Structure 1
Amino acid sequence: MQKRDKVLIVDDEQAIVELMGLYLKSDYEVINAYNGREALERVKTDKPDIVLLDVMMPDMNGYEVCRILKTSVETQFLPVIMVTALSGKDDRIKGIEVGADEFLGKPVNRLELVTRVKSLLRIKHLQDKILAERNDAMSYFEEAGFIAVVIDPDLKINQINKKGNETFGYEEFELIGQDFVDTLIQEDMRAEVRASLKKAVGGNSDLPDFSEVKAECKDGSEVLIRWYDSLLTDDEGNVTGMMCSGEDLSMLE
């Protein structure tokens, strides 16, 4: 049996909570909360897939609840529909500023409610899939048994994996933002390597199958690295950087 999405309905008026629950319970698992603090607790314990959030509540209003959800790493992508009797432009702007994804006016129209919930959940599922794929890719990148460095068109280091940091003797974030050539390439080879990489990212030359270049470690020692470089491009084919994968040849001896 397919797992049903969870909808958290938050309103200090029980009748409204029950009415929206009635509209949705045939397709979703419905969770109720009657104030802002209870809503935050429900999000933490029940892990809803979407939140229907009343604006005007005592103690903690919907804007504050939404702001907390959207500024938390754990819930920043949780869809929030603000449900309100307020219709002023400033009220909607305030909702947008705290991260609301959609708005519904009171009294709630059943078709509009069902349609917006369905639409936002479809987007959330696509987003969840993309995030999962990205996390898998990042996990592979980080734990790979070879050196992996991502540089931008200016040859600045955007990412480097655990193997790379260990090989060159740096801490986890120490190399981020540093010039790849000036920091990691042996001094005598810097001019040649920089010229080659700049031509490649500028589309003026092809990358070799591999190159063997001495790298300089943080402690001043040198290691011979066999680099396998590949260009990174966006959907339109524009170069966005380069992936430099390498193996420490001294480890193969």
Structure 2
Amino acid sequence: MHDRDKVLIVDDEQAIVELMGLYLKSDYEVIPAYSGQEALDKVKSEKPDIILLDVMMPDMNGYEVCRVLKTSVETQFLPVVMVTALSGKDDRIKGIEVGADEFLGKPVNRLELVTRVRSLLRIKHLQDKILAERNEAMNYLDVAGFIVFVLDADMKIHLVNTKGNDILGYGEFELIGNDFIKSLVPEATGESLRETLSQAVGGEAELPEFTEHPVITKDGNEIPVRWYDVVLKDNSGNVTGILRSGEDLSKFQ
């Protein structure tokens, strides 16, 4: 029997935490928290699968907590349901802006609560499966000795494998969100590389079979790399970015 999913319930009113916990405890492991900071601490220590998050709390409101979670690489895919007595359009827009996945009104309806939690957990389990498969593929590339980056259409780094971090001297999440060319490519090479990749993303040109250009390590050294680039597309055929796999040429020198 697999472990039950963990639901973190956050509200500064104990009675509300207990009521929602009562609705969910037969199917899930319920974790209570009574403030925004306690919620963030529980996320680190308990690793919940979903959060039910009150908006109006005195120390750190739900919007602030949600923003912290959704801007962290480690918790950006953690489902967050904002639970609020506020019903205004502006309040919902604010919740969407900070990354909330769903909304529930107070007083909470039991059927609606259970349905929303079940639905979001189903999506999360699918995401977890996809991420696990992606990580397995990345592990194969690590073993093969390739540097691997996934860039979005603006050349921001979405993913880098362990081999890439090790060779360049960075920690696991240090490069995520940075512009690949500004952060890692020498200035003399950067402009022409950006033009080549941008044209490929825009469908204006084909990528070459491979390119060779150095990258700059965290301590300022340059490493020669042969790059093999592939345009990434979603299921609808829309371009989402570039996959760059690189072979460290310094080992041959």
TM-score, normalising length from structure 2? 0.65
Spell out, residue by residue over 1:36-86, the C-alpha distance to the aligned partner (whole angstroms, 9 max, x if none): 111111111111000001111111111111111111121111111000000
8 Å Cα contact 1:201-1:241 kept in structure 2: no
Q: Aligned residue for 1:32? A: 32
Percent identical pairs in the alignment equals: 66
1-side partners of 2:92 and 2:111: how far apart? Answer: 21
1:127, distance to aligned residue in structure 2 (A): 0.8
1:139, distance to aligned residue in structure 2 (A): 2.5
The 1:74–1:124 alpha-carbon spacing in structure 2 relative to 1, beyond 3 Å, is: same
1:143, distance to aligned residue in structure 2 (A): 3.1
2-side partners of 1:151 and 1:92: how far apart? Answer: 31
RMSD in angstroms over aligned alpha carbons?
4.3
Q: Aligned residue for 2:14? A: 14
Task: Name the count of aligned residue pairs.
Answer: 214
Spell out, residue by residue over 1:2-40, the C-alpha distance to the aligned partner (whole angstroms, 9 max, x if none): 210000001111111111001000100000011111111
SS in 2 for 1:53: strand
TM-score, normalising length from structure 1? 0.65
Alignment pair present for 1:138 and 2:153: no
Amino acid at match of 1:13: E
2-side partners of 1:106 and 1:127: how far apart? Answer: 29
1-side partners of 2:50 and 2:104: how far apart? Answer: 14
Amino acid at match of 1:127: Q
8 Å Cα contact 2:147-2:248 kept in structure 1: yes
- In structure 2, stretches of 5+ residues that fail to align are 153-157, 171-182, 194-204, 216-223
- In structure 1, stretches of 5+ residues that fail to align are 153-157, 184-199
2-side partners of 1:22 and 1:3: how far apart? Answer: 19
Alignment pair present for 1:77 and 2:93: no
SS in 2 for 1:8: strand
1:232, distance to aligned residue in structure 2 (A): 5.6
2-side partners of 1:24 and 1:16: how far apart? Answer: 13
8 Å Cα contact 1:23-1:110 kept in structure 2: yes
1-side partners of 2:81 and 2:106: how far apart? Answer: 12
Amino acid at match of 1:71: T
8 Å Cα contact 2:189-2:213 kept in structure 1: no
2-side partners of 1:82 and 1:159: how far apart? Answer: 28
Q: Aligned residue for 2:196? A: none
The 1:57–1:242 alpha-carbon spacing in structure 2 relative to 1, beyond 3 Å, is: closer
Q: Name which one, 1 or 2, has greater alpha-carbon Rg.
A: 1
2-side partners of 1:159 and 1:53: how far apart? Answer: 29
